[in-house]
Amino acid sequence: MVRARRQREGARAAARFAAEPAHASRGTSVLSLACLCALALVVAPPLLGAAGWPYADALRWLLHSVCHQLPERSFHLLGEPLAVCHRCTGLYLGFALGVAAWPLLPALSARLAARPRCIVLFAVPLAIDWLIGNSAGSRFATGMVAAFPVGLLPLLALNQHGSRRLPPDHPDYKQGASQQ
């Protein structure tokens, strides 16, 4: 009974996501801007370091708690390593591409939204790559594959938040207004 209820809720969320594209909302714009800022933080240290800016390592320090930042496991730009490793670069880029692409794929996103637990399956190549040995390209690719579908989750949350309506007896209710 609980499973059937969850499936109905998932189907309703998927239909709502397909009918009301989240890419038009203010929250999605903020999310997209945050993704661009995170990507800029990844590539800024080598660019600014090559330009002689003395605080490039301070930017790299901002990401040291989420990535090992080993230079031999990082892409290099202008002779300097990026602020994160190959895999983390793939994770950041995959998430940003997911946020940008899912609204353009309504049928596929509706199917995945109906079964959000399937997103965990996209992490399987990441685990296999970690277990059997890897290369720079495989670390980057598996990071992108694992993070791309995760970009759908905040879009679903934003869409669900934007679709909530105030009940007519609520003091702040206005005809046709939704809770923002």
**HEC profile of the chain:** CHHHHHHHHHHHHHHHHHHCCHHHCHHHHHHHHHHHHHHHHHHHHHHHHHCCCCCHHHHHHHCCCCCCCCHHHCCEECCEECCCCHHHHHHHHHHHHHHHHHHHCHHHHHHHHHCHHHHHHHHHHHHHHHHHCCCHHHHHHHHHHHHCHHHHHHHHHHHHHHHCECCCCCCCCCCCCECC
Q: Which residue in 98, 111, 100, 104 sits closest to 15, CA to CA? A: 111
Residue 156 structure tokens: 């679903």
- Say how far apart CA 88 and CA 147 lie, in whole Å: 10
Greatest pairwise CA separation for the chain in angstroms: 63
pTM value > 0.85: no
Output the pLDDT for position 127. 87
| Domain edges within the chain | 2-163
Residue 16 structure tokens: 């709502």
Output the pLDDT for position 38. 96
Output the pLDDT for position 179. 46
Output the pLDDT for position 132. 85
Output the pLDDT for position 158. 86
> Do 110 and 14 meet the contact criterion of CB atoms below 8 Å apart?
yes
Output the pLDDT for position 20. 56
Per-residue pLDDT of the chain (180 residues; tens, 9 = 90+): 666 666 666 666 656 655 555 445 778 889 999 999 999 999 999 999 999 999 999 999 999 999 999 999 999 999 999 999 999 999 999 999 999 999 899 899 989 988 888 999 999 998 898 888 889 999 999 999 999 999 999 998 888 776 665 566 666 555 544 444
